[in-house]
Amino acid sequence: MYQTTIKKSVELVGIGLHKGSPVKLKLEPLEANSGIVFYRCDVDVSIPLLPENVVDTRMATVIGKGEYVISTIEHLLSAVYAYGIDNLKITVDADEVPVMDGSSASYCMLLDEAEVIELAAPKKIMRIKKEIEVKEGEKYVKLSPSKDLNYDFTIKFPHPVIQEQAYVLHFTKESYKREISRARTFGFLHEVQYLRSKGLALGGSLENAIVLDEKKILNPEGLRFPDEFVRHKILDAIGDMSLIGMNFIGNYEAFAGSHDLNHKLTLALLADAENYEVIEVVGEAMPELEKAYA
């Protein structure tokens, strides 16, 4: 396997979740060993995708440099990670990434249009060597050694439509696109009303999120999957774990995980070099990965 980027530049325009204004997003190729780099063209600021550049995890994963931030990056990054892309420039003209329909399906289509290509440099893969866990009360997220990659997520909400849901994704690019990418973000009506009173979630609507009142779903079309809620949590987790900086081999497990716990997990993983090893893969030395990202 070799490092990858995209063959050609692609772009789209979508609504920002919090400001409710149109945001132009452009994806461009980068050379080997460049990593994922965000660029705000409205203020001429580049922000490399690194754990130390995360500045907020309360409602979304937000990266920043100085006074400038880019919010709600996790859905786009989820698709980028699922496609095994190592090097990419992501340009936006505002302080958030477009929310699209609340899933990552639009970004998968955009990446299909851009086409993933290999570069003349070995791909770097992180292999998890030790179990790493971050807990807060009964909530936890953890990584453990494995010969492949699985995402095992459980959620529990005191709501009649959600209650307890669990899902295990045996990761491949195709299983991600089929089982995860269309799962939308969700929120509760009372939360949306509160956020709007604070000048947030102004772009949120039934077109880009599942919205629930105290008893039911308000979206007239209903759910895309019976367990769409937990599937979206896996979508988020994949995006959040991309902050590691490379694809990894190991199991991810969570109960009531969050952006904040995922960020703390990446920091805990990278804090000790004994937790992992980085392997440079050339050719077809890891056929299971070749299959995963085919």
Structure-token match 């409602």, residue found: 59
Could you count the other beta carbons within 10 Å of the beta carbon of residue 65?
A: 16
Contact indicator for 150, 176 with CB cutoff of 8 Å: no
259 among known catalytic residues: yes
Active-site residue (options: 18, 75, 232, 259): 259
Structure-token match 């990858």, residue found: 4
Tokens of 237: 């987790």
Q: Phi/psi at 80 (nearest 5 deg)? A: -60, -45
Give Cβ neighbours of residue 69 (< 8 Å, ≥ 6 apart).
55, 56, 62, 63, 95
Calpha distance 285→294 (Å, rounded): 15
Strand-by-strand arrangement of the 36-40 sheet: 10-15, 22-29, 88-92, 36-40, 45-48
Q: Which residues are catalytic?
A: 259
